[in-house]
Amino acid sequence: LNDLDKLGLFNAYTSGDHIWDKPQIKTILQNATISLLRPLNYRAGCAGEGYKIITSGAKRLLVINLLGRVFMKNNENTSNPLLAVDDVLKKYTLNKNEEDKEKIDGILIDIHAEATAEKKVLATYLDGRVSAVIGTHTHVPTRDEQILPHGTAYITDVGMVGPFNSSLGLDFKGLIQEYLTDISQKREVGDDPRVEIGAVLIKIKKDGLAQNIKHLRELVQK
């Protein structure tokens, strides 16, 4: 454990469209000791931060949390994610030649969105300016992990961490009744002792761009 900094491990948490489901989240987001982000492009005045610089030894990673708008509920509460991330990248850069900006060792984007097209367009727009664009939200992993032409790592959806035999982590019983009756049912986490873990392993070069990306999908027992 004493060598974690040497491994370049960073500790941060991103979120998505359910961030406001519990009222106590506002207190958590205002706690500076907890590296939890809410989507950057929520309307002004929301609690918490949409990006944060995380340190590991001498290395600094900028983590940015974005929320997609296509096919997403309550998208009137969010602004354009491309323009929102542009505002942040006016301050920070991977490029040491951009002397008017603060140099960062890596920039990671979590785009929590429904539409594949929106994620891919965002990644292409940011290609070469950030280390990685990682898609989340659909809970189903995609096998399109790749390095884009200008050096940014990308995957449309990394998958989930949750019960393997479930519907997006939820127990089937209530959901089946909901689909049969069109009446909302109580939603509970599935009880399968096998936990699916979806993740990506990204190696970042000295210039802040990605050398490779590998998708990981494992089943473990609780």
For the annotated catalytic residues, the residue numbers are: 18
The Cα–Cα gap between 43 and 14 comes to 17
The Cα–Cα gap between 35 and 121 comes to 27
Amino acid at 184: S
Which stretches of the chain are DSSP H helices? 4-7, 25-29, 81-89, 116-126, 172-181
Q: Count of CB atoms within 10 A of residue 157's CB?
A: 23
The Cα–Cα gap between 210 and 207 comes to 9
Query: What phi, psi does 17 have (nearest 5°)?
Result: -75, -10
The Cα–Cα gap between 154 and 142 comes to 11
The Cα–Cα gap between 174 and 188 comes to 8
